[in-house]
Chain A
Amino acid sequence: MEFVANIVVTLKPSVLDPQGNTVKEALHSMGYNSVEDVRMGKFMELTISADSEQKALDLAHDVCNRLLVNPVIETYTLSLKAQTGGAV
């Protein structure tokens, strides 16, 4: 079975995000003062072949912890869904 894992990596809340701050300031200068915070991050989409959803999930967490995320400064969220069949 094929699964698609969507992974969002962001800096930890305790870590200053200079890029996010700059974007926030740009938004404020445009008048969007109700935007209280901006955090920038990375989006990754992994297509995983696995026997079960649990195995695909375990693998996705494993690669996050071992490569995709640096736990010193980053955190991540992960969502997984089964790839539906049919035309690609």
Chain B
Amino acid sequence: MLRFGVVVFPGSNCDHDCFYAIKQFVSKDVEFIWHKSREIHEFDCIVIPGGFSYGDYLRTGAIARFSPVIGQIREFAESGKLVIGICNGFQILLECGLLPGAMLRNTSLRFICKYIYLKTVNSDTPFTSSMEQGRVIRIPIAHGEGNYYIDPDGLAELKRNNQIVFQYCDANGNISDNTNPNGSVENIAGICNKAGNVLGMMPHPERCCDPRLGSSDGLAVFQSILKSLTVSQ
């Protein structure tokens, strides 16, 4: 059975949501990983959940980067295993350099908590392999600093390597300034690393896996992970 680990930092608050979604719908074998852990090699996929690690002091994700588990995650990722960072988890991956770019405050200066539409612009990753290219999913966001920034050279490189995975769009998949909730460069909501085994995304797939919560579109992300891990085993 595929083994998932959900990292817990002081201040993580989506850890139980991720745990529940995975256990209920993806794999029975899921465990919490305390941020001081130095033993993560037995897992198949690491989830860095949302929340406010270390109170988001200094910058979002800036202090979490120094937790012992991050060194382990770095090795884990470099060995080609799957790492997904959601919301604060994405911010942590940016701060520790596993993904390029940085987060700024939302242009509205507001904390935004609502359902949005997301376009899968790269279905050729382990996190989107069960979705067709261009598929639109309905999924919640909940963040104050999700305004993704990268300089023009960095953006060109993201495009060259096909690293943009998700973009904010409308129900029909149209991507425009009107469908950009937070000011992100090119409506970017999720990116992967060059190798494709590390994904960061601001929206919360774990919050829309159980149909009782209004949408089960997020399940596609976890099903993709399951599919690609099953194939590779």
Q: Taking beta carbons and an 8 Å cutoff, which residues of A are in contact with B?
A: 11, 14-16, 18-19, 22, 67-68, 70, 72-73
The total number of A-B Cβ pairs within 8 Å is: 35
Q: Which residues from chain B contact A14 at a C-beta distance below 8 Å?
A: 151
**A18→B102 contact, CB < 8 A:** no
Binds A, one of B14-22, B48-56, B105-113: B105-113
Q: Does B183 contact A (CB under 8 A)?
A: yes
- Judged by a CB distance under 8 angstroms, whether B115 is at the interface is no
7 more A-B contacts (CB under 8 A) besides A16-B107, A16-B183, A18-B107? A14-B151, A16-B104, A18-B105, A19-B109, A68-B58, A72-B150, A73-B102
Provide the main secondary structure of the chain B interface. loop
Question: Which residues of B sit under 8 angstroms from A73, Cβ to Cβ?
Answer: 102, 104, 149
Docked complex Cα distance between A14 and B58 (Å): 21
Range for the number of chain B residues in contact with chain A? 10 to 19
Q: With a CB–CB cut-off of 8 A, which chain B residues contact A72?
A: 94, 100-102, 149-151
Question: A4 CB to closest chain B CB, in angstroms?
Answer: 19
Chain A residues within 8 Å of B158, by CB = none
Whether B62 pairs with A67 at a CB distance below 8 angstroms is yes
Residue of B nearest to A42 (CB): B58
Inter-chain contacts of A18 with B (CB < 8 A): 104-109, 147, 183
Do B58 and A19 touch (CB < 8 A)?
Answer: no
Contacts of B95 in A (CB 8 A): 70
Residues of A close to B62: CB separation below 8 A: 67, 70
Chain B positions 105-127 with a Cβ under 8 Å from a chain A Cβ: 105-109
CA distance A18 to B183 in the complex (A): 9
Chain B residue contacts of A11, Cβ below 8 A: 104
Let me know if B227 is at the binding interface, CB within 8 A: no
Interface membership of B59, Cβ < 8 A = yes
Nearest CB in chain B to that of A12: its residue: B151
- Show 17 residue pairs from A and B whose CB-CB distance is below 8 angstroms, ordered by the A residue: A15-B149, A16-B104, A16-B107, A16-B183, A18-B104, A18-B105, A18-B108, A18-B109, A19-B109, A67-B58, A70-B62, A70-B95, A70-B102, A72-B94, A72-B101, A72-B102, A73-B104
Q: Please name the residue on chain B nearest to A71 by beta carbon.
A: B102
| Contact pattern, B 151-194, Cβ under 8 Å of A = 1, otherwise 0 | 10000000000000000000000000000000100000000000
- CA A68 to CA B59, docked complex, whole Å: 9
A16 to B59, CA, bound (A): 17
Q: Which 7 A-B pairs have the closest CB atoms?
A: A72-B102, A73-B102, A18-B107, A70-B102, A18-B105, A73-B149, A18-B109
Among A15, A18, A22: residue with most chain B CB under 10 A: A18
